[in-house]
Structure 1
Amino acid sequence: MSGQNPSASPRRPWPRRALTLWRRSLQVRVVASTVSLTVLVTCSLTWFLLSNVKEGLLDQRVNRVVAESVAEVEDAVNRLEASPGIGTEVDAQQRAVVDPIRERGAARGFAVALTLPYEEGQPLSYGGIVKTDDLDMRSIPDDLRRAFANDHSTAHEFTDVVSTGSEIAGVPEGPGVVVAQQLKLPADGKTYTLYFVFSLSQQSETLALVTRSVLTAGIFLAFLVGAITFVVARQVVAPVRQTREVAERLASGHLQERLQVRGEDDLARLASSFNHMASNLQRQILQLEELSRMQRRFVSDVSHELRTPLTTVRMAGDMLHDARDDMDPVTARAAELLHTEIERFELLLADLLEISRFDAGAAVLDLDDVDLVQVAHHVVEVTKPLADARNVAVLVEAPDGPGIAEADVRRVQRIVRNLVTNAIDHAEGRDIVIRIGHDASSTALTVRDHGVGLGPGESAMVFNRFWRADPARARTSGGTGLGLSISLEDARLHGGWLQAWGRRGEGAQFRLTLPRHSGQLLRHSPLPLVPVDEDATQ
Structure 2
Amino acid sequence: MWDIWRALTGWAARLVAGLHQTWRRSLQVRVVSITLVASSLLVGGFAYLIADKITNILLENAETDVLLRLRSGSDYAAKQLGLFSQPQDAQVQDTIDNTVSYLGDPQQTSGVVVALTADHTDSIRPRSSPDVDFQPLVSPELRAAVADGNIAHQIRTGRLNGNEPTKYLVYGSPVPTRFGQVELYYLVPLARQDSTAADARATVVATGVALVLLLGLLAALVTRLVVTPVRVAARTAQRLSAGLLDQRMTVNGEDDLALLAASFNQMATNLQRQILRLEEMSRLQRRFTSDVSHELRTPLTTVRMAADLIFAERDEFDPAVARSAELLQAELDRFEELLTDLLEISRFDAGFAMLDSEPTDLVPVVHRVVDRLAGLAERVGVAIELDVPSTPVIAEVDPRRVERVLRNLVGNAVEHGESKPVLITLGADETAVAITVRDRGVGLKPGEEKLVFNRFWRADPSRARQTGGTGLGLSISLEDARLHGGWLEAWGAPGQGAQFRLTLPARSGDRLTTSPLRLVPADAPLPFGGPRDGGLLAIGPGSAGALAIGPGPGGDAERAGVRS
Tell me the TM-score normalized by structure 1.
0.76
Closer, same or farther: CA 102–360 of 1 in aligned 2, 3 Å: same
Q: 1:308 aligns with which of 298, 311, 317?
A: 298
1:63-99 per-position Cα deviation (integer Å, ceiling 9, x unaligned): 444555566667667766654555399xx89x96996
Partner of 1:363: 353
1:36-67 per-position Cα deviation (integer Å, ceiling 9, x unaligned): 44444322322221122122222332344455
Contact persistence 2:75–2:175 (CA under 8 A): no
1:484-533 per-position Cα deviation (integer Å, ceiling 9, x unaligned): 11122223334443332323323222233445666666566565544432
Deviation at 1:403, TM superposition (A): 7.1
Partner of 1:351: 341
Contact persistence 1:438–1:526 (CA under 8 A): yes
Partner of 1:534: 524
Contact persistence 1:445–1:513 (CA under 8 A): yes
Provide the rounded CA distance (Å) in 1 between the counterparts of 2:134 and 2:355: 99
Q: 1:109 aligns with which of 108, 111, 125?
A: 111
Contact persistence 2:104–2:112 (CA under 8 A): no
Provide the rounded CA distance (Å) in 1 between the counterparts of 2:242 and 2:525: 43
Provide the rounded CA distance (Å) in 2 between the counterparts of 1:129 and 1:488: 113
Closer, same or farther: CA 316–63 of 1 in aligned 2, 3 Å: same
The count of corresponding residues between Structure 1 and Structure 2 is 506
Partner of 2:533: none
Contact persistence 1:181–1:194 (CA under 8 A): yes
Q: 2:422 aligns with which of 419, 422, 432?
A: 432
Partner letter of residue 111 of structure 2?
A: G
Matched, 1:288 2:278: yes
Contact persistence 1:30–1:229 (CA under 8 A): yes
Partner of 2:198: 208
Matched, 1:465 2:455: yes
Contact persistence 2:86–2:178 (CA under 8 A): no
Contact persistence 1:412–1:490 (CA under 8 A): yes
Closer, same or farther: CA 68–374 of 1 in aligned 2, 3 Å: farther
Deviation at 1:476, TM superposition (A): 1.3
1:270-312 per-position Cα deviation (integer Å, ceiling 9, x unaligned): 4443333333322222221111101101111222233333334
Provide the rounded CA distance (Å) in 2 between the counterparts of 1:370 and 1:175: 100
Closer, same or farther: CA 321–217 of 1 in aligned 2, 3 Å: same
Partner letter of residue 203 of structure 1?
A: Q
TM alignment of 1:322-333, pairs within 5 A: 322-333=312-323
Provide the rounded CA distance (Å) in 1 between the counterparts of 2:366 and 2:189: 101
The alignment partner of 2:524 has SS state of helix
Provide the rounded CA distance (Å) in 2 between the counterparts of 1:515 and 1:173: 88
Contact persistence 2:104–2:114 (CA under 8 A): no
Partner letter of residue 366 of structure 1?
A: D
Q: 2:483 aligns with which of 488, 493, 512?
A: 493
Closer, same or farther: CA 474–46 of 1 in aligned 2, 3 Å: same
The alignment partner of 1:535 has SS state of coil
Deviation at 1:228, TM superposition (A): 4.3
Please, which runs of 5 or more residues in structure 2 have no aligned partner? 1-12, 120-124, 530-564
Identity %: 46
Closer, same or farther: CA 138–352 of 1 in aligned 2, 3 Å: farther
Provide the rounded CA distance (Å) in 1 between the counterparts of 2:133 and 2:311: 134
The alignment partner of 2:292 has SS state of helix
Partner of 2:88: 87
Partner of 2:328: 338
Partner of 2:51: 50
The alignment partner of 1:502 has SS state of strand
TM alignment of 1:128-527, pairs within 5 A: 145=140, 153=150, 155-162=152-159, 165=162, 167=163, 173-179=165-171, 197-368=187-358, 376-397=366-387, 407-435=397-425, 444-514=434-504, 527=517
Provide the rounded CA distance (Å) in 2 between the counterparts of 1:292 and 1:418: 26
Provide the rounded CA distance (Å) in 1 between the counterparts of 2:131 and 2:295: 125
Contact persistence 1:459–1:502 (CA under 8 A): yes
Provide the rounded CA distance (Å) in 1 between the counterparts of 2:182 and 2:74: 11
Provide the rounded CA distance (Å) in 1 between the counterparts of 2:194 and 2:349: 85
Provide the rounded CA distance (Å) in 2 between the counterparts of 1:381 and 1:332: 29
Partner of 1:62: 63
Partner letter of residue 501 of structure 1?
A: W
The alignment partner of 1:304 has SS state of helix
Closer, same or farther: CA 103–358 of 1 in aligned 2, 3 Å: same
Contact persistence 1:456–1:503 (CA under 8 A): yes
Partner letter of residue 59 of structure 1?
A: E
Provide the rounded CA distance (Å) in 2 between the counterparts of 1:192 and 1:412: 121
Contact persistence 2:85–2:178 (CA under 8 A): no
The alignment partner of 1:383 has SS state of helix
Closer, same or farther: CA 231–107 of 1 in aligned 2, 3 Å: closer
Provide the rounded CA distance (Å) in 2 between the counterparts of 1:362 and 1:135: 111
Provide the rounded CA distance (Å) in 2 between the counterparts of 1:340 and 1:45: 94
Closer, same or farther: CA 107–291 of 1 in aligned 2, 3 Å: closer
Partner letter of residue 87 of structure 1?
A: Q
Provide the rounded CA distance (Å) in 2 between the counterparts of 1:519 and 1:138: 96
Provide the rounded CA distance (Å) in 2 between the counterparts of 1:422 and 1:221: 76
Provide the rounded CA distance (Å) in 2 between the counterparts of 1:139 and 1:258: 81
The alignment partner of 1:61 has SS state of helix
Contact persistence 2:414–2:422 (CA under 8 A): yes
User: Structure 1 stretch 66-75 or stretch 155-164: which is displaced more?
Assistant: 66-75
Provide the rounded CA distance (Å) in 2 between the counterparts of 1:430 and 1:49: 90
The alignment partner of 1:253 has SS state of coil
User: Structure 1 stretch 248-257 or stretch 354-363: which is displaced more?
Assistant: 248-257
Provide the rounded CA distance (Å) in 2 between the counterparts of 1:294 and 1:317: 33
User: Structure 1 stretch 514-523 or stretch 251-260: which is displaced more?
Assistant: 514-523
Contact persistence 2:142–2:153 (CA under 8 A): no
Provide the rounded CA distance (Å) in 1 between the counterparts of 2:77 and 2:389: 113
Provide the rounded CA distance (Å) in 2 between the counterparts of 1:385 and 1:68: 127
1:396-447 per-position Cα deviation (integer Å, ceiling 9, x unaligned): 4468988776644433333233222111111111122334566676554433
The alignment partner of 1:277 has SS state of helix
